[in-house]
Structure 1
Amino acid sequence: MAAADNKTTPTIVSPHAFIAGLDDARRKREAEILLRWFETVTGLKRRMWGPSMIGFGRYHYKYDSGREGDSMITGFAPRKAAMTLYIKPGYRGMSEMLARLGPHRTGKSCLFLNRLDAVDIDVLAEIVADGVAHMRANCETWDA
């Protein structure tokens, strides 16, 4: 399957413009905080991925099936139900950090936060930085 088949690709939309268009005032405020915070924690460039995800960095993947493409290294999406953070490649060895984080739920590579102010932002930085370091060490091609 070719990279062109991937639905989530970088767009030319400004992350600031996307955030400005959010209806929920709290999500908008949290998204503005996270936009600056992710750049500080990761040192990676921000860009929109698809219509609603703000990603930082980019890496190329290729599965055994032949499917390949590019994806963000980390990022977030201000969803109505929860602020969703993308922690790649998932949570291997992060149980101690997750236990210190505060209220959250996890998916395969998603970290769901109901309220940003309810979690320990320093622990969140450890989690994001660990994921980025792992991606940098284990991906053949990536860029800031």
Structure 2
Amino acid sequence: MYEQKTKETDQSVMEFIEDIENIKKREDAYKLVDIFTETTGYPAKMWGPSIIGFGAYHYKYASGHEGDAPLVGFSPRKAKISLYFATGETERDKLLQDLGKHTSGKGCVYINKVADINVEVLKQLIDQSVTFLKETYPSE
């Protein structure tokens, strides 16, 4: 049976951030915690060893695969900061055009630093993702 790798843990978010070697990345992580917490209303929780997530939802696919994941989150990785939003939201691409300097993959948006992006657009992306996931996977 499939064992989900990324689960909510009891690891301290603040201790995780304090262990980030790059001072600028550490400062950005604190800024992002404030932005995500203020926007979602959820406290920051560690998911796996390196993702800071906000809120949670339970998903179940037609294949039978199911699990839990944060509604939104980020990870201050060495190369870039990964931002995690819902991928199925159709408005996401439109908002990303106004986000600022970033690259994106299927499920992640990558930024170098918070100063490179429009924080108001980031807040809209967070809101949109939370709304989309709550509507797509309503809690039972």
TM-score, length basis structure 2: 0.93
Whether the 8 Å CA contact 2:89–2:132 is kept in 1: the answer is: no
Give the corresponding residue for 2:37: 39
User: Post-superposition shift, 1:107?
Assistant: 1.1
Q: How far does the alpha carbon of each residue in 1:34-88 deviate from its partner, in whole angstroms, 9 at most, with x for none?
A: 1111000111222100000000011101122221111111000001111111001
Q: Which runs of 4+ in 1 moved over 6 A?
A: none
Q: What does residue range 18-29 of structure 1 map to in structure 2 within 5 Å?
A: 18-29=16-27
- In the alignment, structure 1 segments of 5+ residues that lack a partner are none
- In the alignment, structure 2 segments of 5+ residues that lack a partner are none
TM-score, length basis structure 1: 0.91
Whether the 8 Å CA contact 2:74–2:83 is kept in 1: the answer is: yes
Give the corresponding residue for 1:63: 61
Whether the 8 Å CA contact 1:59–1:71 is kept in 2: the answer is: yes
Report how many aligned residue pairs link the two structures: 140
Give the corresponding residue for 1:109: 107
Give the corresponding residue for 1:73: 71
Give the corresponding residue for 1:131: 129
| Shift in alpha-carbon separation, 1:16–1:90, aligned structure 2, 3 A | farther
Structure 1 vs Structure 2 CA RMSD: 1.4
Distance 2:6 2:82 in 1: 15
Give the corresponding residue for 1:85: 83
Whichever residue aligns with residue 76 of structure 1, its letter is F
1:95 lines up with 2:93 in the alignment: yes
Give the corresponding residue for 1:15: 13
Whichever residue aligns with residue 118 of structure 2, its letter is D
Q: Matched residues, percent identical?
A: 36
Whether the 8 Å CA contact 1:58–1:70 is kept in 2: the answer is: yes
